[in-house]
């Protein structure tokens, strides 16, 4: 009898504990938000844009080989004094619940970034649906709403187009950086490093880019592309950098996976191409009379990718000279980036974090004045060791 009662109680408890349908959400009741755009209105309120997937049109576009069945996404906007208020007000415009579990991109307008992002990430981090792996970019010269409204021809979801471009560009070009929410929050809470984000621009006609014809042409009226790095001081955007300075920042951050350098040779500019791979950047802190200094040591190896001058690549003495020339070119880019950051008084390289790890007592004394007093005058030495591993299938070029 006691055994029967015990079994009955066990089954009853299990039945209560395993009832897991109390928080269910039907797919037909959800609006899957794939990207969020953040702007500021003229009266200082948040303008939040939601890029929502149209599931039927995405599936139809894949089957029909284009966007003939309708646009794959819709963009809704809402305003509010806070991000949460704007999200709640969006329920007046959608017949479904906003669902953030698949949000993988946040686009922030340049205007908002210059005013400060202090109140942005609190709401994002607290939302249990929002992923901390969500990527972040800055809309350069356009509003975040405009960026999210442009339709893309290859990847039907524009947010996916931006994310893949970020990842592959960082891998192949070495002038962009893929940054997620977790990295930004970590750097915000660190007193020895400021954040760097990649910018996105719209090339072409912004208004025509919103129309379905933009994905039905071999030459779209508008394209989304990456442009520049945004340097922040604390939570505010202070400077855009491009070109060699842009890459110099990534050399210092140890975020170069692969890039191509063209160096001059025998009086000819852009004479020899070098594809850098296997890059490692290390920071070393040294104390001189109680003051910190930094050694940036970069090691890279790679291949000769192209030549436009007559040179015998089988001669090891010439290869040694080329390695020195490549090292000097990389050193120039890094120094230019460091000087730019010191001029803006923003430590985007994490030199302060390196000082903190090496000399915690010293850091405790100087951290409050690091950005404005110590970092702008910090002595930095750059050392580059470049190696040429392969010269390709031909040692002597065709050019005579």
287-296 pLDDT, tens digit each: 988 889 999 9
**pLDDT tens across 337-347, in order?**
999 999 999 99
Average pLDDT of every residue of the chain: 87
pLDDT at residue 61, as a whole number: 47
User: Would you say 399 and 307 are in contact if contact means Cβ atoms under 8 Å apart?
Assistant: yes
Structure tokens belonging to residue 250? 């990534």
pLDDT at residue 214, as a whole number: 80
**pLDDT tens across 319-361, in order?**
999 999 999 999 999 999 999 999 999 999 999 999 999 999 9
**Could you give all domains of the chain from N- to C-terminal order, each with its CATH number?**
27-241 (no CATH), 242-400 (3.30.300.210)
Going by C-alpha positions, the residue among 281, 375, 291, 267 that lies closest to residue 333 is 281
pLDDT at residue 18, as a whole number: 60
Residue 265 pLDDT > 80, yes or no? yes
Global pTM? 0.87
Please give the share of the chain, as a percent, with pLDDT higher than 90: 52
CA angle 141–144–150, rounded 5-degree value: 95
Q: Is the dihedral of CA 240, 242, 244, 249 positive or negative?
A: positive
pLDDT at residue 14, as a whole number: 65
Structure tokens belonging to residue 14? 């299990």
User: Would you say 266 and 309 are in contact if contact means Cβ atoms under 8 Å apart?
Assistant: yes
- Can you tell me the mean pLDDT for 242-256? 94
* CA distance linking residue 143 with residue 163, whole number of Å: 18
Per mean pLDDT, which range of 65-74, 260-269, 274-283, 302-311 is the poorest?
65-74
**pLDDT tens across 111-130, in order?**
999 998 887 888 888 888 88
- Can you tell me the mean pLDDT for 231-257? 93
Structure tokens belonging to residue 354? 């390196």
Residue 397 pLDDT > 80, yes or no? no
**pLDDT tens across 138-176, in order?**
999 899 999 999 998 888 899 999 999 999 998 888 889
pLDDT at residue 172, as a whole number: 87
**pLDDT tens across 61-90, in order?**
444 444 445 788 889 999 999 888 988 888
């Amino acid at each position: 009898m006691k055994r029967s009662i015990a079994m009955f109680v066990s089954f009853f408890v299990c039945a209560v504990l395993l009832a897991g349908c109390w928080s269910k959400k039907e797919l037909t009741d959800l609006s899957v938000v794939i990207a969020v755009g953040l702007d500021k209105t003229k009266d200082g309120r948040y303008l939040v844009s939601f890029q929502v997937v149209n599931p039927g049109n995405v599936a139809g576009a894949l089957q029909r080989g284009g966007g003939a069945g309708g646009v794959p996404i819709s963009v809704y906007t809402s305003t509010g004094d806070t991000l949460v208020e704007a999200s709640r007000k969006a329920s007046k415009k959608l017949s479904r619940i906003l669902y953030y579990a698949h949000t993988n991109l946040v686009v922030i307008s340049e205007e908002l970034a210059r005013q400060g992002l202090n109140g942005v990430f609190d709401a994002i981090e607290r939302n249990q649906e929002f992923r901390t792996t969500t990527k972040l970019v800055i809309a350069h010269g356009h509003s975040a709403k405009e960026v999210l409204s442009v339709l893309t021809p290859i990847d039907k979801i524009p947010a996916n187009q931006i994310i893949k471009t970020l990842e592959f560009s960082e891998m192949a070009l070495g002038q962009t950086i893929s940054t997620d929410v977790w990295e930004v929050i970590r750097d915000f809470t660190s007193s020895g490093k400021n954040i760097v984000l990649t910018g996105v621009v719209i090339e072409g006609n912004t208004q025509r880019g919103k129309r379905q014809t933009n994905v039905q042409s071999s030459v779209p009226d508008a394209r989304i592309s990456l442009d520049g790095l945004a340097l922040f001081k604390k939570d505010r955007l202070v400077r855009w950098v491009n070109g060699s300075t842009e890459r110099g920042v990534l050399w210092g951050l140890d975020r170069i996976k692969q890039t191509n350098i063209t160096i001059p040779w025998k009086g000819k500019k852009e004479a020899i191409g070098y594809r850098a791979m296997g890059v490692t950047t290390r920071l070393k802190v040294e104390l001189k009379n109680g003051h910190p200094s930094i050694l940036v040591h970069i090691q890279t190896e790679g291949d000769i990718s192209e030549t436009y001058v007559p040179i015998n690549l089988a001669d090891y003495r010439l290869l040694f000279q080329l390695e020195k020339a490549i090292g000097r070119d990389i050193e120039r880019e890094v120094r230019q980036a460091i000087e730019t950051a010191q001029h803006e008084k923003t430590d985007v390289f994490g030199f302060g974090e390196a000082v903190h790890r090496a000399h915690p007592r010293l850091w405790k004394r100087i951290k409050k004045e690091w950005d404005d007093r110590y970092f702008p005058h910090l002595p930095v030495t750059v050392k580059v060791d470049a190696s040429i591993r392969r010269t390709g299938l031909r040692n002597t070029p065709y050019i005579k």
